[in-house]
Amino acid sequence: MLKNLTCKQEKLTVTLTVLGIEVGPKADTSKQTILHVTRNDVDRKTAIEVNKPMSYSVSFTGTFFVSKDSVKEKDLTLTLFLKSDPKVCGSAVVNVSEYVNQLEVAQNFSRRILFFGAMYTLKLQITIAPLGGASLSALSQNTTQPRCPSIRNSSPRTPLKIELRQTRSSSTLTTSTVSRDEGMVRGLLSPRFKNLELSESLSDPQTSPHNTPGPRTPRGISTHNSSSSMARVIRTNKTPGLEDYMNRQVSPVNEHVTTFLKDLDSFDNIMILDENWKTSKTPLLFQIVWTTIKSNKLLDNNFNILTKALLQLSHKCKDDFLPPKTLGYLCSTLCWVGSFLVQSLENERNEKAQSALETTKSGIVECFVVMFDRFSKTVQNETKKWLTQQENAEILVNVTEKLIVTTELCYFPRDIFEEILGEIEKILNTEIVNVIVDGEETTEETGLYCQLAIGQMQEKFYKRKFNADFVLIKELSSILMLQNKDVLGQPGANEICPHFSNELLYKILLNLQKKQKGDKIKAELLNKLQRERGYMTFYNNIFILTKKEKLGNVLTISQKESEVLLPLSEIELRFKERKYLEENVFN
């Protein structure tokens, strides 16, 4: 069955797209169902609606070794589960190696999953292409059906015969989720995409207005879950004039604008190309966006297209399942675009120009709000894990490194990167303290482990030339390790823990008292702390990057375009067949 195989190595880009999920009318579809796609580093989730068209894609790169006498499967696992009860689930497996014999061809097939008492049919499409060299026009014109009829054609068709090649594979996978549109790697140049109106380029025309975050707690440390308050800050202000813009009818545009907007909607595929061809210290997505802006003079006479493109990117951060690294890449791109827009439009009084700038700032704020909320939850979870073990400082040090490296890999402008480091320090400072204060496992020894962690955590920041103090963790450590707790009720307590209120001290000591034998913490001290208000030094835990009015101070860049932008030939080498990168094709 397997003949004429040669031994060779190929690095390929694989994109699996879910075209739809079908189930019979008797199935219970009242509960929210989640689709979970996994494969080594791939770990993507999305909410689904059955019996409706979809276009949810997952892309990764892999190295395939073709041989005569051995096969190593490369599997993707598709799992359906209830959001309210993840234990109710069903799964199916897709062996990617079965499809590598047809490159640059969209191959349709299906998988069936027994889930929640019913049989669900997943209509799937897989496209495999050489890394960085896929002919996108070919992808849209050649579609085979290896196993089942297309979801778009109800009449039965005979599946094409496929010659399976034996493969062995080893790969480092990069996860990304394409939006609910067709995706960058399939069909972008298909005739059915031509002559679309500009208003059709967004998947949801009734997009909600951009927002800026509300106020944070003005004093001290909050002892509640700060991520919940972070999640609320998106919903406060509207961008002036944005709602009117979104509701306005826009005239038809040419196919190059449509392709440009479609590519932005599938920006995570550009991120995959960037990771495999990295030579610049800026995101490839920024290079593509800014080159298109300059070559088509969008800052002169096409502000509608510019604003639409910026909205396209800004709304992607609202995807709940976007990985932190992908979210950071998107945010970094908006920061670079925003910095050059501020530089270019500094003296521009045009209302549309200012609207484009405000749209960018709103998108940056939304991205940072979501990103810092994710960081906060990560620190909370890791600190809780560390608190149950308290063997060493490794977990706290690792989560510190993880947050910093995630940010580094996104290639933010230097000034903004330093601001992010400051925000990460605030997150670590407040979230670690909040978890320890409320933790049932907190003891006096916890203070000793905190002392061990502080030095190693500071070292991670020092390597990036940033001075992190961790003042709150230091003060909490001193409180826990203090032998004579009575001094906390005296005026001298302000020298030990000036940022801790009497209310918070009472909570810490009461928590310790429950675990101690004897009368080590006296009732008189607790009564005094509960009765007196005391003096407290303000700790500034406000995130500057989530305040739109503050962004103008950090969206500054000393570099010139010529120092940052890659030559057009170098961009086209990585991102092929895109006419919109050339001059004046939008006119």
Question: Residues of 280-291 as b/e, b for ≥16 C-beta within 10 angstroms?
Answer: bebbbbbbbbbb
**Tens-place pLDDT, residues 449-472:** 999 999 999 999 999 999 999 999
CATH class of the domain at 371-531: mainly alpha
Instruction: Give the CA radius of gyration of the chain.
Output: 27
525 vs 531: CA distance, rounded Å: 10
245-254, 417-426, 561-570, range with greatest mean pLDDT: 417-426
Amino acid of residue 550? K
Q: Which residue has the tokens 């991670």?
A: 460
Residue 324 has pLDDT above 70, yes or no: yes
Task: Say which CATH topology domain 8-23+32-178 has.
Answer: Immunoglobulin-like (2.60.40)
**Tens-place pLDDT, residues 121-142:** 999 999 888 875 443 333 333 3
Residue 191 has pLDDT above 70, yes or no: no
Position 132 scores a pLDDT of 56
**Tens-place pLDDT, residues 243-252:** 444 444 344 4
Average pLDDT over residues 30-39: 88
Residue 573 has pLDDT above 60, yes or no: yes
Amino acid of residue 25? P
Assign 85 to helix, strand or coil: coil
Q: Across the chain, what does the average pLDDT equal?
A: 75
Average pLDDT over residues 356-381: 92
Residue 198 has pLDDT above 50, yes or no: no
Contact between residue 148 and residue 115 where contact means Cβ atoms under 8 Å apart: no
Residue 39 has pLDDT above 90, yes or no: no
**Tens-place pLDDT, residues 330-363:** 999 999 999 998 888 777 777 888 888 888 999 9
**Tens-place pLDDT, residues 81-116:** 988 888 888 888 888 888 877 778 888 989 988 888
**Domain parsing of the chain, residue ranges:** 8-23+32-178, 207-219+238-369+551-581, 371-531
> Could you tell me the pLDDT band of residue 7, with boundaries at 50, 70 and 90?
low
Residue 368 has pLDDT above 90, yes or no: yes
Average pLDDT over residues 194-216: 39
Residue 118 has pLDDT above 90, yes or no: no
